[in-house]
Structure 1
Amino acid sequence: MAEFDYSQAIADARAKYGSIAKALDMDRLKAEIEQLERQAAEPGLWDDPENAQKITSKLSGAQAQMRRLNSASQRIDDVETLVELGREMGDDDSLGEAQTELASIQQDLDAMEIQTLLDGEYDERSAVVTVRAGAGGVDAADFAQMLLRMYVRWAERNGFKAKVMDTSYAEEAGIKSATFQVDAPYAFGRLSVEGGTHRLVRISPFDNQGRRQTSFAAVEVVPLVEATDHIEIPDTDIRVDTYCASGPGGQGVNTTYSAVRITHLPTGIVVTMQDERSQIQNRAAAMAVLQSRLLVLRHEEEAKKKKEIAGDIKASWGDQMRSYVLHPYQMVKDLRTGHETSQTQAVFDGDIDAFIEAGIRWRHEQRREAAAE
């Protein structure tokens, strides 16, 4: 067996750490933490609980990332010192400890490297995940519930907040569908690689003849879109016309230019208002109606974009991305990345980080190849 090359292992760890620190831009990260700390210290922060939660969550995530970076750098320095002392003293135990620590550092750096690959437009967002039973009858409904539990357990293992928002239960067992939200930095970037058709092969617990059954479930992942109740409308985006109101209302209404017509130029939406006696009141009322209509329009566009991001997932034969085989052998295998494990129970208990990380690396490579073409 070749002798372990401590110097090369330390050099490799330093090189990887350097590339990660550069990609994550530590100066930018420090500035972001300082800005978020100032915002978190403002007296009226919790007057808006939703915004306060967003700020504190971002701050917690940024601080955790900085701690991991600083810890990795310190651990590399410490293990280098341990190797030097072990060599000087001829202490094989210290050298063995250093080798174990280097393997642990490499594993942590690999996990940190994943963060640098989450550079998609929506990757930073929280995620909304929907699991639907596909082909396979009651087994598919049961499989969908198993996947729901798997993802919720995954969130718990990582300290992420997961909230089940809607569940439609099947008649005999399991669920027809369920939607849950995972609130954490980069939750969408991580979970988006889980979108697709999942296949389960097992002896059906619902078949009195004990036959093997194949069933399917679909996982759809979309980013959480941040919506507000107010939409800013630049003056350059509207045309305001005034005219005399018509109909009942008396001389004060019908003989003054109190009626208002607002045209939103980018969308062509037109709102008219003449119920109020003054032009100022009618304009304010018309702007409120225009904002409401634009908000509805934006939600419709966001829903359409979410569907495009999620893609068309059929949950049937021929398009599965991962197989969970419980009989005649134990194996979970991702058909895109080739990553597999025989620890099926651990996977269903939420131990899926290795699959997610392999999926992120696979997606990054796919994008890189597409950009090169």
Structure 2
Amino acid sequence: MASIDFPAEIAALRHTFTSIQAVSDVDKIKADIADLSAQAGVPNLWDDPASAQVVTSKLSHRQSELERLEKLEERIDDLELMVELSEEDHDDEALRDAEKELSKLRKALADLEVVTLLSGEYDEREAVVTIRSGAGGVDAADFAEMLLRMYTRWAEKHGYGVKIMDTSYAEEAGLKSATFEVNAPYAFGTLSVEAGTHRLVRISPFDNQGRRQTSFAAVEVIPLIEQTDSIEIPENEIRVDVFRSSGPGGQSVNTTDSAVRLTHIPTGIVVSMQNEKSQLQNRAAAMRVLQSRLLLLKKEQEDAEKKALAGDVKASWGDQMRSYVLNPYQMVKDLRTEHEVGNTSAVLDGDIDDFIDAGIRWRANNRNAADS
């Protein structure tokens, strides 16, 4: 155990924690908790369920932030005490336990450090993610469905709520497109690094000759609007079309014209929703997504440097940000960060945290370079 310089390692942990603490602004977190607790204590809070949900969600998130910081500080203190007692007693087994805890603390601090990099204007928002199949025919549609599963599995592993808002099924297999919400604080800041073109290389299960196929899918990530956002859309700027839902579903699918398509005439933005039970619910959900996209467009116009929030995703050759290679070898590689892994099954099952963390650090470094 002498190979580990525990005092130096613990000092490094404390230095990293102090930096995180300063960026996190603990005093502001405590002030926010006090303010949100006061709002949550108002007797008529739940007269407006939507507003109440926003307040309680923010309060829960801020409380979790503070608790996470306090527990990490306690764990560093406990580690230091564990090492001192173990060395006094010459207890090698306890020192081995201390080494394991040291490794866990390094990982926990690295994860928390990534969160502190989410400082963009909309980073703390929940996210609306749209996946569209691109070049590659039926393989691309199948790939789009694989990505939908990957992201929903990732969210489930973290305990994040996912709400499928719209699915457009391809004729033979897979999806033309899918839109879903990820209901968790900082979901937009976290997932926004996933926006771009994803590329799949594999032996096509749809090719009778067993040839290798390259296909593409585009991922768009936008922040979910809040009630305080000022995005008013005049009725004469929206064309509303209703149609019958398609694809698998419950009793209301294929029986009523409940699906809604909104077209924003000035920009040409089109949003379709069909997964709610009623036309009214689908229209409300579509309007929220349309407002989110217009909010992002407005921000891009105000600040061209932040145009990459949603990005211009073509889903074709020359535009890819990540490759998923299943044949002739197994590898997933992010072409921006150079991060790669060989366990493709785990990645497609939602194990993408390392890719997201690398993407957030890459984006932060690029921002810092641009500002210097």
Normalising by structure 2, report the TM-score. 0.79
For residue 297 of structure 2, the aligned residue among 301, 304, 324 is 304
* SS in structure 1 of the partner of residue 53 of structure 2: helix
Quick one: structure 1 residues 4 and 299, their matched pair in 2 at CA, closer, same or farther if it must change by over 3 Å? closer
Aligned to 2:87: 87
Partners of 2:160 and 2:292 in 1: how far apart? 26
Preserved contact between residue 169 and residue 175 of structure 1 (Cα < 8 Å): yes
Tell me by how many angstroms 1:300 deviates.
8.3
1:97-246 matches, within 5 Å, as: 97-227=97-227
Tell me by how many angstroms 1:226 deviates.
2.0
Normalising by structure 1, report the TM-score. 0.79
> Which consecutive segments of 4 or more residues in structure 1 shift more than 4 A?
227-232, 297-301
Aligned to 1:70: 70
Aligned to 1:292: none
Partners of 2:314 and 2:327 in 1: how far apart? 24
Task: Indicate the RMSD between aligned Cα atoms, in angstroms.
Answer: 2.2
Unpaired runs of at least 5, structure 2: 233-287, 301-306
Quick one: structure 1 residues 185 and 229, their matched pair in 2 at CA, closer, same or farther if it must change by over 3 Å? closer
Partners of 1:226 and 1:323 in 2: how far apart? 34
Tell me by how many angstroms 1:186 deviates.
0.8
Quick one: structure 1 residues 336 and 29, their matched pair in 2 at CA, closer, same or farther if it must change by over 3 Å? same
Preserved contact between residue 223 and residue 306 of structure 1 (Cα < 8 Å): no
* SS in structure 1 of the partner of residue 166 of structure 2: strand
Aligned to 1:96: 96
Amino acid at match of 1:175: L
Partners of 1:322 and 1:208 in 2: how far apart? 27
Tell me by how many angstroms 1:3 deviates.
1.0
Quick one: structure 1 residues 336 and 4, their matched pair in 2 at CA, closer, same or farther if it must change by over 3 Å? same
Partners of 1:87 and 1:299 in 2: how far apart? 57
* SS in structure 2 of the partner of residue 200 of structure 1: strand
Quick one: structure 1 residues 95 and 145, their matched pair in 2 at CA, closer, same or farther if it must change by over 3 Å? same
Tell me by how many angstroms 1:72 deviates.
0.4
Partners of 1:298 and 1:139 in 2: how far apart? 32
Percent identity over the alignment is 63
Residue by residue over 1:128-185, the C-alpha shift from the partner in whole angstroms, topping out at 9 and shown as x without a partner, is 1100000000000000000011111111111111111011000000000011111111
Amino acid at match of 1:122: Y
Residue by residue over 1:27-69, the C-alpha shift from the partner in whole angstroms, topping out at 9 and shown as x without a partner, is 1101111111121121111111101111111111111111110
Aligned to 1:19: 19
Partners of 1:127 and 1:47 in 2: how far apart? 26
Quick one: structure 1 residues 175 and 368, their matched pair in 2 at CA, closer, same or farther if it must change by over 3 Å? same
Residue by residue over 1:164-223, the C-alpha shift from the partner in whole angstroms, topping out at 9 and shown as x without a partner, is 101100000000001111111111100000000000011111111111111000001111
Q: Which has the larger radius of gyration?
A: 1
Quick one: structure 1 residues 32 and 227, their matched pair in 2 at CA, closer, same or farther if it must change by over 3 Å? closer
Unpaired runs of at least 5, structure 1: 233-294
Tell me by how many angstroms 1:298 deviates.
7.7
